[in-house]
Structure 1
Amino acid sequence: MKLISLTILTILFTSCSVTSDLNTRIDRSQKKSLKGSPFQTAKGMKAELKIQKKYRGDYENDLKNLLENYPNDTIILTEGYDFICLGCPSDYVQIFINDTLLLYRKDLMDKKYKKTKKILINHFDTTGYFYSDIAELRQEIRKGNQWNNNPEKYGTDECLDGGHTLYTIFYPLGKIESMYMRCWLNKEFRK
């Protein structure tokens, strides 16, 4: 009876765990990016990160599968938050690998993410605006640049609308790096 009770407790404990190793590593990397961010708005993101750990399970298995099936590729994860909703989970999530984008949008009715898959040509649309952040980060990574050391190179926190975005990059050898961005600016609007 004692062994059965211990087994049941172990199963309950492990099944109630919200945080996997991957989720913990993502969270740690994102917290580090907030701590080192030059943007004042980064300080207010702690509640969002805390709740996102709970919601990340909706797309974490897809991310794990990509990491296992494409061990030599760099994967870009973006989690975008609405500026006016404090302590809310990410509105949208994007996972980018090669020319494929998995897009997850928050469904307000059932509080889960709905997944769609897109194939991107040249990594952005013909106007050069949609997904241009992903394309630019990918170029910086290919060049070997420290893309996350200077977020002010790409954007600002002096904007009236927009949202918060956390970019998380998964490198082939298991390294994870993140960067917080308040408002990504197109190149022509940067300092």
Structure 2
Amino acid sequence: MLILRILLLSVLILQICYAYGSPSQGKIYSKNEAPHGYIPFENSFYKYHRVPQTWAKARQICDAEGGYLAIINSEDEANFLIQMMAKYPVDVLTDVRHKNNVLVGFHDYFEEGEFVTIDGKSLENSGYVYWAPGQPNNYGGNEQCGSLWRKGGLTDFPCATSSPFICEISSDTLCTIRDVENSNQ
């Protein structure tokens, strides 16, 4: 009987997570647990993906993991992401062509030079607009996607060029055990 109750409670918890519309696809985390491979910082979790992808493919991978390409909202967050990059020095990234950039969640697809985050905010409204020296430059007329430079600062980057990337999952979007407990009250 106890096993049946545990199974029914598990099903109920997953149904509540789906009802919350959790982008983490019904996965439940304790309040201190990060999703697999993610590192906590402030109110989000981050994961560095070493295998290079195009910007669109990176965005799909982040979405499949319940997150999104990282959106930088502060200098502290940018510095944290740069520290993540530092764990993969250029001499370690032997199979990576663009070793000094990671793809992040902004672009100027809609209007050249008007950069917006993947959630539709201008960079100014996102809270972080610090360009690397000489950026943005739309080199070759083909740089509509966003990246973070290893030495600091944003760069525009060719969307079809593969690069490492960083995904972010906001702790506000995770379905936690605490959420489930609160919904039962």
Query: Shared topology, TM-score over 0.5?
Result: no
User: What's the TM-score, normalizing by structure 1?
Assistant: 0.27
Q: Which is bigger in relative contact order (C-alpha 8 A, separation at least 6)?
A: 2
